[in-house]
Amino acid sequence: MQKSEFTADEELMIQREFEALLDDYAHTPHRQKVELITHAFNFAHKAHYGVRRLSGEPYIMHPLAVARICVKEIGLGSTSICSALLHDVVEDTDYTVEDIRGLFGDKIAQIVSGLTKISGGVFGDHASEQAENFRKLLLTISEDIRVVLIKIADRLHNMRTLGSQPKDKQYKIAGETQYIYAPLAHRLGLFPIKTELEDLSFKYEHPETWQEIHDKLEQVKAGQMETYEHFTEPIRERLTSMGYTFTLKARIKSVYSIWKKMMLKQCAFEDVYDLMAVRIIFTPNESMSEKDQCWMIYSAITELYRPHPERIRDWISTPKANGYEALHVTVMAKNGQWVEVQIRTDRMHEIAEHGYAAHWKYKTGESDEGELDKWLQEIKEILAHPDKDAMEFLGTFKLNLFAQEVFVFTPHGDIKTMPLGSTALDFAFLLHSELGEHCIGAKVNHSLVPLSYRLKGGDQIEILTSNSQHPQKEWLDMVITAKARNGLNQYFRREERRYIKHGELLVNDAIQMDKDLAANPDKAVARLLNYYGCANPTELYLHVGQGTIRLDNIHDIVMPRRGWRSYIPFIGRREDNIDKISAAQPLNDAAAQPNDAAKPKKKEPHAIILTDDNLGKKYMLSNCCHPIPGDEVLGYLDDEGQMHIHKIDCPEAALLKTSYGKRIYSATWNTHRVQSFVETIELKGIDKFGVFIQVLQAITQEFHINMRSINVSSEDGIFKGTMEIYVYDKSELEDLLKAIRKIDDIKEVKRVTIEN
Would you name the residues annotated as active-site residues?
A: 91-92
Distance CA 284, CA 604 (A): 69
What are the start-end ranges of the E strands in 48-164? Answer: 51-52
- Residue 302's nearest CA partner among 280, 286, 284 is 280
Distance CA 192, CA 74 (A): 10
Q: Which run of H or E residues covers position 415?
A: strand 415-419
List the Cα angle 114/156/275 in 5-degree steps.
140
- Residue 202's nearest CA partner among 212, 187, 192 is 212
Query: How would DSSP label each residue in 170-228?
Result: HHHHHHHIIIIIHHHHHHTT-HHHHHHHHHHHHHHHSHHHHHHHHHHHHHHHHHHHHHH
Our CA dihedral for 418, 423, 428, 433, rounded to 10 degrees, sits at -90
Distance CA 210, CA 538 (A): 51
Q: Which run of H or E residues covers position 463?
A: strand 461-465
Q: What is the 3-state secondary structure (H, E, C) of 4-30?
A: CCCCHHHHHHHHHHHHHHHHHHHCCCC
Q: Burial of 465 by CB count in 10 Å (0-12 exposed, 13-18 middle, 19+ buried)?
A: middle
* DSSP label of 423: B
Beta-bridge partner residues of 720? 684, 713
Cβ-proximal residues to 284 (8 Å cutoff; 6+ apart), any chain: 290, 293, 345, 346
CA atoms within 13 A on the CB side of 8: 0
Distance CA 190, CA 184 (A): 9
Residue pair 429/489 in contact (Cβ under 8 Å)? The answer is no
Cβ-proximal residues to 380 (8 Å cutoff; 6+ apart), any chain: 142
Residues in the chain: 756
Alpha helices in 48-86 (DSSP H): 61-68, 78-85
- Residue 296's nearest CA partner among 239, 334, 240 is 239
- Residue 534's φ and ψ, nearest 5 degrees, are -85, 145
- Residue 692's nearest CA partner among 716, 713, 715, 706 is 713
First to last CA, the chain: 44
Rg from Cα positions in the chain = 30
Residue pair 455/429 in contact (Cβ under 8 Å)? The answer is no
- Residue 475's nearest CA partner among 528, 444, 436 is 436
